[in-house]
Amino acid sequence: MSQKSFIDTVDHISTHAKKEKIAHLSTQDKKLIGNYITINETKLVNFGSCSYLGLEFNHEIREAAKEAIDAYGTQFSSSRAYVSPIYYQSLEEKLSKIFNAPTIVTPTTTLGHSAAIPVLVTKDDAIILDHQVHSSVQTAVNLVKAKNVHVELVRHNRMDLLEAKIIELRANYKNIWYMADGIYSMYGDMAPLDEIYALLDKYDNFNFYVDDAHGMSCFGDKGQGYVLADRNIHARMVVATSFAKAFATGGGALIFPTAEMAQKVRNCGGPLITSGPMQPSALGAANRVADMHLSGEIKPYQEDLQQNIMYTNLMLKKHKLPNLAEEKTAIFFIAVSLPKIAYKLIDRVKQDGFFLNLGIFPAVPIKNTGVRFTITSLHTFAQIDAMVASMALHYYEILEEENIEIESIYKAFKISNPFEQTINNKVESIIKYSALSHQYTQSIHDVDTAEWNNAFKNQACIDTNALNVLEESFSSNESAINNWDFHYLLVHDPENKLILATYLTVSTSKDDMLFDRQISREIEEKREKDPYYMTSKTLSLGSPVSEGKHLFIDTSSPYWKEALDLLFRKIGEIQEGSDIATTILRDFETSDEQFDDYFLNNGYFKYQMPNNLKLKNISWEDQDEFYQELSKKKKGHFRRNIIKHSSNYELVVKDSYSNKEIEAAYQLYLNVKQKSLEINTFTLPLSYFKNIAINNKWEILSLYLFDSNGKKLSHDPVAVGFCYKGNVNYSFAMVGVDYSFNAEFSCYRQMLWQVIRRAQALGFKNVDMGYTSEIEKRHFGAKVVETCAYMQIKDNYTLEALGTMTTTNKSEDGVNKRRILSI
Partner 1 sequence: MELTKEEFCLFNLKSKLQFVEKDGLFLFRRVSGDQFLISLYKIYDFYIEVTYDIPRFKTTRVDPVVNIKIIELYSYNEILRKSS
Interface residue list for partner 1 (CB under 8 A): 303-304, 307, 310-311, 314-315, 318-319, 380-382, 385, 388-389
**How deeply is 325 buried, as exposed, middle or buried, from its count of CB atoms within 10 A (0-12, 13-18, 19+)?**
buried
H, E, C per residue of 189-210: CECCHHHHHHHHHHCCCEEEEE
Query: With contact defined as beta carbons under 8 Å apart, do 170 and 203 qualify?
Result: yes
CB of 467 vs partner 1, minimal distance in Å = 55
CB of 307 to partner 1, least distance (A): 4
Closer residue to partner 1 in complex, CB, 327/812: 327
Residue with Cβ nearer partner 1 (145 or 319): 319
Could you tell me the smallest distance in angstroms from the CB atom of residue 376 to partner 1?
15
DSSP, residue by residue, 647-712: TTEEEEE-S---HHHHHHHHHHHHHHHHH--SS--PPPPHHHHHHHHT-TTEEEEEEEEB-TTS-B
387 vs 340: CA distance, rounded Å:
20
Query: In the bound complex, what is the minimum distance in angstroms from residue 381's beta carbon to partner 1?
Result: 5
Min separation Cβ 299 and partner 1, Å: 12
Cα dihedral 198, 201, 205, 208 sign:
positive
Query: Measuring CA to CA, which residue among 369, 411, 387, 373 is closest to residue 576?
Result: 411
Least distance CB 308 / partner 1 (angstroms): 8
Are 699 and 764 spatial neighbours (Cβ–Cβ below 8 Å)? Answer: no
Strand partners, 372: 333, 357
Q: How far is the CB of 186 from partner 1 (least distance, A)?
A: 26
- Are 137 and 112 in contact by the 8 Å Cβ rule? The answer is no
What count of other Cβ atoms lies within 10 Å of the Cβ of residue 716?
17
Helix (H, G, I), strand (E, B) or coil at 129: strand
Taking the C-alpha atoms of residue 437 and residue 504, their distance in angstroms, rounded to an integer, is 19
- Of 381 and 419, which has the nearer Cβ to partner 1? 381
Q: Considering beta carbons, is residue 240 or 388 the nearer one to partner 1? A: 388
For the bound state, the minimum distance from the C-beta of residue 314 to partner 1, rounded and expressed in Å, comes to: 6
Q: Are 420 and 446 in contact (CB under 8 A)?
A: no
Nearer to partner 1, 58 or 390 (CB): 390
Q: Which residues contact 629 (CB under 8 A, 6 or more apart)?
A: 620, 781
Q: Which is nearer to partner 1, 303 or 622 (CB)?
A: 303
Given the complex with partner 1, which of 390 and 731 has the nearer CB atom? Answer: 390
Question: Is 704 buried (19+), middle (13-18) or exposed (0-12) by CB count in 10 A?
Answer: middle
State the nearest-atom distance from the C-beta of 413 to partner 1, in Å: 24
58/287 with CB nearer partner 1: 58
Q: Do 603 and 765 contact (CB within 8 A), yes or no?
A: no
End-to-end CA distance of the chain: give it in Å, rounded.
Answer: 24
Compute how many other C-beta atoms are within 10 angstroms of the C-beta atom of residue 481. Answer: 18
Cβ proximity to partner 1, 418 vs 763, nearer residue = 418
SS3 string, 208-266, reads EEEECCCCCCCCCCCCCCCCCCCCCCCCCEEEEEECCCCCCCCCEEEECCCHHHHHHHH
Going by their DSSP bridges, the two strands 357-359 and 369-374 should be labelled as antiparallel
What CA–CA distance (Å, rounded) separates 782 from 778? 5
Closest distance of CB 481 from partner 1, Å: 53
Q: For residues 391 and 514, which CB has a smaller minimum distance to partner 1 in the complex?
A: 391
* Closer residue to partner 1 (CB): 385 or 451: 385
- Give dist(CA 549, CA 542) in Å, integer: 8
The CB-of-394 to partner 1 minimum distance in angstroms stands at 15
Residue 126 C-beta: closest distance to partner 1, Å = 45
Identify which of residues 321 and 358 has a Cβ nearer to partner 1 in the complex: 321
